Structures are given as structure tokens and as C-alpha cells.
Structure 1
Amino acid sequence: MSIYVGNLSYEVTQDDLTQTFAEYGKVKRVQLPTDRETGRLRGFAFVEMETDAEESAAIEALDGAEWMGRDLKVNKAKPREEKGSFGGGNRRY
């Protein structure tokens, strides 16, 4: 499971997030998604921690906290939904 971190500054780095979340336990991985077309950060991240207890402590401490001039939204990440193919253009059956 991982943590969703929203409302991030576009200036944030993986190191910034790793240092902040390391106060609550061992950080296994940080993902900072970027926009495919512009390469800019999308304003959210996913953080994986070693244990559920560490994740819970980080969520409790950081949700709603002001960080880098913004109020963070921090919660358990929802599983990614598979996107089905809709439409199909000029398919013939």
C-alpha cells in the first residue's frame, strides 16, 4: 500500500518528500508523476513506507499540515483502476 500526497508545490523534489516522510519511518519509494506533454510535476506524489504503522503515523501527522506554502492532502492511496477501452473508432466486427 502507499500514501497519496496531494496539493504539493510544483517545486518539490523526491529528496524533499523523502526527508519529510522519513521523520515517521523508513521510506521505501517516492513517485512524483509528471505531465506527459510538458514534463512538469502534476502536484501530487505517492510515498511507500516500510510498515502500515509508519504510513498511518505519517498520514495522521501530515494530512492538513502546511508544507512549502501549501496545505497537504495526505491519505491512503486508492488502488489504481484499470481503464477499459471505450469507443474504438472505425472498428469492424
Structure 2
Amino acid sequence: MSAKLYVGNLSFKTTEEELADLFNQAGTVISSTIIRDRDTQMSRGFGFVEMSSEVEAQNAISQFNGRELNGRQINVNEAREKTSRNQRGGYNSGSSRGGSRGGFNRSGGSRPSRGFSSRREDKGWWNS
């Protein structure tokens, strides 16, 4: 069964081929991926390598964790499962507090008139 590894602190110049070449020294590489920014396509400085077995993955961790690659000391660990975005917390955390934030009320409501209504007895200075 294959095992996926997280590789962090990569140089922005590191390619997927360089990553695969390095990890091939520890065993058979099934795939190597460098994560890129969606807009700029620049490397985000981390990636993943999939090794063909758990044993090879452990060999890669012991051989390459802390090793220098393209001038950077890389971090190699077992990859964790991706968590769902809606479970991360942060802004509003998916909960609703209720209440109004104020602002423009399209339904009319009880907002005081500004003197533009034809129902007012005193039509303001422009009709004096």
C-alpha cells in the first residue's frame, strides 16, 4: 500500500522532478506534487510525495527530514488527511448570532421620515 509524505520548507525554485529524483533514492516514487498559488502559479513552498510502500516512506523520512535541498532545510513527515474547510473555525464558524446589522431597510419599517413625504403637513423650506 502506498504512503503519502508532506515535504515542507521547499525553495520556490524546486521542481517536481527534483523532488522525485531525491525521493527515488529511498524507494519507488509514485507521484510528486508541488502546491502552487492558484492565481500566480508560484510555489507555496511545500508539496507531497507518494511512495510505493510504508517502509519506503519511513526510509524517506529518516533520510531526508532536515536535509538541505536547493539551499533550504526541508521538513519531511507523513501527510495528514485533509480536513473539511467548514470545520476549521475562524470567522463566524458556521454559527449564526441573529440580530440585525442595521443599514437600509427595503421594507419601510419605522425609519423616521426625512421630509420628502407628501403626507406631511409641513413640507419643508422648499415649499415655504
Under TM normalisation by the shorter chain, which class is it? Answer: 0.7 to 0.9
Q: Deviations over 1:38-76 (max 9, x none)?
A: 110110010000000000000011111111111111100
Show structure 1 runs of 4+ deviating over 2 A. Answer: none
Identity rate, percent = 37
After TM superposition, give the deviation of residue 33 of structure 1 in Å.
Answer: 1.0
Correspondence list, 1:21-36, <5 A: 21-36=23-38
Question: Which runs of no fewer than 5 residues in structure 1 stay unpaired?
Answer: 88-93
Alignment match of 2:79 (pick from 71, 77, 92): 77
Other structure's SS at 1:84 match: helix
Number of aligned pairs?
Answer: 88
Amino acid at match of 2:85: K
Q: Aligned equivalents of 1:31 and 1:16: distance in 2? A: 11
- Structure with the bigger RCO (C-alpha within 8 Å, sep 6+) is 1
Please name the residue that 2:45 is paired with: 43
Q: Aligned equivalents of 2:62 and 2:41: distance in 1? A: 31
After TM superposition, give the deviation of residue 14 of structure 1 in Å.
Answer: 1.1
Correspondence list, 1:51-66, <5 A: 51-66=53-68
Q: Aligned equivalents of 2:65 and 2:20: distance in 1? A: 16
Give the TM-score normalised by structure 2: 0.65
Larger Rg over CA atoms: 2
Q: Deviations over 1:14-38 (max 9, x none)?
A: 1101110000000001111110121
Please name the residue that 1:91 is paired with: none
Q: Aligned equivalents of 1:39 and 1:48: distance in 2? A: 22
After TM superposition, give the deviation of residue 82 of structure 1 in Å.
Answer: 1.1
Alignment match of 1:16 (pick from 12, 15, 18): 18
Amino acid at match of 1:55: A
Other structure's SS at 2:85 match: coil
